[in-house]
Amino acid sequence: MSITFTVEGKVIGQKHPLFTGWHIELPPREENHGDQLKLRDLITSIVVKEVDEFKNRQSERRLARVMSKQEIAQDAERGKVNPGESDLQPSVHAEDAIAVALQAFEDGLYFVFVDEIQQTHLDREVFLRTDSKVVFLRLTALVGG
């Protein structure tokens, strides 16, 4: 049985979250007794899913799309009409993104909470339920610090 849980991102000192209500589905992990996995594996799975989504968004932007008058008006209201057909050079590699995410955790640049319990060690198991909420709390460096 796979597990679907919610991921949210927050930044200390900001009223609005970075993102909220993002749902992720993880397949069962036989080596970790079903719905248990290590924090390292959880972060890795989330990063891989986000990299895949980013690549999909990049791929969609490469295609020119036909826009309705309403879509053009909405984009114009936001300040930019974008029909796609962009040649997006930056490429993201999952291995690099995983390494950066894990190093940032070890460096204390963000905290991870699973169901309101702070996770402090990458190699400790975390326990997810279908209604679990994983929060990434990014810290803000002080000026001059």
What is the mean predicted confidence (pLDDT) over 107-117? 95
DSSP 131: T
Q: What are the tokens at 77?
A: 């209201």
Q: Classify residue 16 as left (phi > 0), alpha (psi -120 to 50) or beta.
A: beta
Q: Which fold has domain 3-55+92-138?
A: Ubiquitin-like (UB roll) (3.10.20)
CA 96 to chain centroid: 15
Report the mean per-residue pLDDT for the chain: 82
Distance of CA 21 to the CA centre of its chain: 11
CB 4 within 8 A of CB 129: no
pLDDT band at 108 (very low <50, low <70, confident <90, very high): very high
Distance separating alpha carbons of residues 129 and 4, to the nearest angstrom: 8
Predicted confidence at residue 32, as pLDDT, reads 44
| pLDDT tens-digit readout, 28-69 | 655 445 445 899 999 999 999 989 888 887 776 655 567 778
User: Does the predicted TM-score (pTM) go above 0.85?
Assistant: no
Q: For 20-29, write each residue's pLDDT tens digit.
A: 778 888 766 5
User: Does the pLDDT at position 80 exceed 90?
Assistant: no
